[in-house]
Structure formats: structure tokens, C-alpha cells
Amino acid sequence: MNRNKNAFTNGLRDGIPIALGYFAVAFSLGIVAKKAGLNPFQGFLSSLLNHASAGEYAEFTVIIANAPYAEMAFVILVTNIRYMLMSCALSQKFHTDTSLIHRFFVGFGITDEIFGISIGRTGTLNPYYTYGAMAIALPGWSLGTAIGIVAGNILPPSIVSALSVALYGMFIAIIIPAAKANHIVGGVIITSFLVSFAVSKITLFDHMSDSMKISILTVIIAGFAAALFPVKDNEQHTAEDSNKEAS
Amino acid sequence: MTHNIYLYIFVAAAVSCLIRTLPLTLIRGKIENPFIRSFLYYVPYVTLAVMTFPAIITAPQVPIAGILALTAGVIAAWKGLNMMGIAALCCIVVFVCETAVKM
């Protein structure tokens, strides 16, 4: 019981910078939501249930276009497909005894950032850690959207700009210690940087959504890495242990 | 034909929820296949790396601010600074850099 409480507190603590970053980003999402005709409550509800930046942006464009419900389902499937990969990865992070209810609610809470800090935990994942992060990050995201609808962009651009890199800072905190501990992981991360940069420069991929690019690159690069450098079980622990400091 | 906003939100939420929860609830045990195990081991690192770069450079108003934030963040992470510290450092670097550029 105490361990769960501890995990929840840790999740809450790690969720604070995520919530701050979300709040700022959700503001701009609120402006789009307003264009789509959502009132603050609808914006809040949409963000609480969907909590995905690219996904919700796409959602609002579908509403603006007054498109069929089936199109909404398809667009959300495509923009959020990366969460399916994250969900697969998290399934291996749980103790095999973890109940279906916990699996469902942790799955529901997956966002890029919440996934990032959850997968970065040492050893198996205690669901309460993820719940702690969700408890602060999701209201931050939802309130940000609602207030964005009401107030528009009241934060000065310099603050929004500074806060926009907070999330990337957190990703760096997860991948760099792992790269330091395991050179293959380091090589895979550098390769990912380079390929991602190259793809962003190739105009051929311009019409593809960022989310789609992320999913495709992940499948290809992680696939190559798995084929070339199969992981032995003891290696998994070295990289995970290195995240102890970061988390 | 006009559509109901609540129904739109519900459809989007239902699809998002299924995408997120199906693999976690269906894959209950340890996967034994070494390729899939290795693949899933690399997935988070690749995803996070691809999401970080080059987005960290295009997110701020001035690209150089993003480059400096990335550099500072990587060095701080290598030295073992904690997650919140690295996130704060990146924000401060961008704010200071953009303020300096505008002067």
C-alpha cells in the first residue's frame, strides 16, 4: 500500500513539468477548438478523453469540415497510431500479474510524455506511478484547452516559446542516460536523430502528418535495430538502471 | 447534414481509447520471440528521439535557441541532472537566448 502511495507521489512530482508544458500547448489548441465551434466545456471534455495534441488538432479540423463520423474515426486512428506501439511496449513493462483494470487505465493515460516517464522507470512499472502523473498532467491539458477557448492566447509569445521545449527536455532526460549506459542504444538514438532530420527536409513527406512520420520511422528504425542487435535480457536492465537518476 | 459535437468527441475518444488500451490488455504475458522483444525494447528510445529532433529546433521562435537548448539538455543529462532540472534548463536557455536575440 505504502509502495503504491510512494509511486503515486513520484508520478505526481514528475507530472508537474508535464502539466506546465501541457497547459501552455493546450492554450493554442483551445484557439483551434474555438474555431471549430466548441464551448469551453466541450473543449475540456475532448481534452480529458482524447489528450493528444496532434490527434485533437486533427479532430477539430474534422469538426470544422463537418465531415462524416467515419472520417473522424479514421483520422484519429491514423494520427494516434503511435500510441498503439507505446501500448505494446508498456505491456512488457508490467508485472505479468497486473490486473486488467490497471492495464486499461494506464493504457487510457498514454500520451507521449506520460509514456516517456513511465517506460523510463527502473524495473516493472507500478500503475500508481502513471496515475500520479495522469492526475496532474491531464487536468493541466484539459484546463489549458478550456481556458484557451475562453481567453485566447493570453500568455506572451516568449513564454509559450520557452515552455514549448520543456517536453523535449524531458525526453532528453530519458534517452541520454540510456545512451550513456548502452552504446547500441546510443547509436540507435543518433541514427533516429539523423533519419528524423533527413525526413523533415524531404518535401516528398510534407503531406504526411508528424504523427504518421513518427510511427513509420519508429517501426523501421526499431525493426532494423532489433534485427541487427538482438537484445539479451541482461542488457535490458543496464539501460533501465541508468534511468534511475533521471526518474 | 449537421453533426453533433458531442458525438464527434465521443467517436474520437472511443477510437483513441481502443488504440491505447487494446495492446496493453491483450498482451498479458512476457513476449518470448527475441525479435519482437528486441523491437519493443528499442521502440521507446527511437520514438522519443524522433519526436525530439528536429522538433526541438523548430518549436521555439528562433532555431538557434532550440539548438542551444538541445545541447545544454544533452550535456546536463549526461552529467546526471534529474528530469525536472533538464526540462527547466531547456526552457531557461530558450527564454534567455530569444531575449538576447531580440535586443
Q: State chain A's maximal CA–CA distance in angstroms.
A: 53
Question: 10 Å Cβ neighbour count for B29?
Answer: 8
| pLDDT average, residue stretch B77-87 | 87
Cα→Cα distances A55→A137, A209, B22, B67, B100, Å: 17, 10, 18, 27, 35
Q: Which three cell numbers stand for residue B51?
A: 519526436
Q: Do B43 and A86 touch (CB under 8 A)?
A: yes
Rounded CA gap, B79 and A214, in Å? 28
Per-residue confidence at A245, pLDDT binned at 50, 70, 90? very low
Average model confidence (pLDDT) across chain A: 85
Assign residue B21 a region (left: φ > 0; alpha: ψ between -120 and 50; beta: otherwise): alpha
Rounded CA gap, A174 and A180, in Å? 11
Reduced DSSP (H G I as helix, E B as strand, rest coil) percent helix, strand, coil of chain B, to 5: 80, 0, 20
Question: 10 Å Cβ neighbour count for A95?
Answer: 11
pLDDT tens digits for range A192-221: 999 999 999 988 887 776 767 777 888 899
Q: A41 touching B, CB under 8 A?
A: no
Rounded CA gap, A175 and B47, in Å? 10
Lowest mean pLDDT among A20-24, B65-69, B74-78: A20-24
Rounded CA gap, A217 and A211, in Å? 10
Rounded CA gap, B8 and A72, in Å? 7
If contacts are CB pairs under 8 Å, which of residues 159-188 in chain A contact chain B? 159, 161-180, 185, 188
Lowest mean pLDDT among A37-46, A204-213, A230-239, B86-95: A230-239
Rounded CA gap, A40 and A71, in Å? 24
* Highest-confidence segment of A19-28, A235-244, B78-87: B78-87
Q: Do B50 and A46 touch (CB under 8 A)?
A: no
| pLDDT average, residue stretch A229-236 | 74
Closest residue by Cα to residue A82 from A215, A247, A200 = A215
Which pTM was predicted? 0.74
Q: Do B60 and A165 touch (CB under 8 A)?
A: yes
Within A92-230, residue ranges assigned H as helices are 100-108, 112-119, 127-151, 157-163, 166-181, 183-201, 210-228
Q: B39 touching A, CB under 8 A?
A: yes
Return the residue of B nearest to A242 by Cα: B80
